[in-house]
Amino acid sequence: MSGYIIEKETKEERVKPKEIKKEKVKMKLSYKEQRELEILPDRIENLEERIDEVNGCLSNPDCYKDIGLNKLADELKELELEYEEATRGDI
């Protein structure tokens, strides 16, 4: 009976041919996805610069008086959401 248990365990540990094929398949990016991936570093850099600008304006009373505190806070929130999406890959 112990031989049966060992044989059963080895059958469960075996990799099925379908699983092997799935691992070998490479995902090819579409043209649009490839283009988005190419411009992603520049997009992230631009978002970081814009976030820094808005934060700088929020710390300067003369700047946020002209534009409006609420408007700047909303813009910062939108920029941060867009930045999070870009760094996660949810384009």
Tens of pLDDT, residues 17-50: 555 555 556 678 899 989 999 999 999 999 999 9
Residue 61 lies in a domain: yes
Residue 20 lies in a domain: no
Q: Which residue has the tokens 């890959």?
A: 89
Q: How far apart are CA 53 and CA 79, in angstroms?
A: 11
Name residues whose C-beta falls within 8 Å of residue 48's C-beta, 6 or more positions apart in sequence: 83
For residue 57, what are the domain limits?
A: 28-88
Residue 14 lies in a domain: no
Mean pLDDT of 9-13: 56
Look at residue 90 and tell me whether its pLDDT is greater than 60. no
Q: What pLDDT, on a 0 to 100 scale, did the predictor assign at position 59?
A: 93
Tell me 30's DSSP state: P
Higher confidence at residue 63 or residue 7? 63
Residue 60 lies in a domain: yes
Q: What pLDDT, on a 0 to 100 scale, did the predictor assign at position 91?
A: 47
Mean pLDDT of 75-79: 97
Answer whether 81's CB lies under 8 Å from 73's CB.
Answer: no
Residue-wise pLDDT tens digits, 48-71? 999 999 999 999 999 989 899 999
Residue 50 lies in a domain: yes
Residue 13 lies in a domain: no
Q: Enumerate the H helices of the chain as residue ranges.
A: 2-13, 17-24, 31-58, 61-67, 69-88
Q: Which residue has the tokens 């999070």?
A: 84
Count of structural domains within the chain? 1
Q: What pLDDT, on a 0 to 100 scale, did the predictor assign at position 8?
A: 54
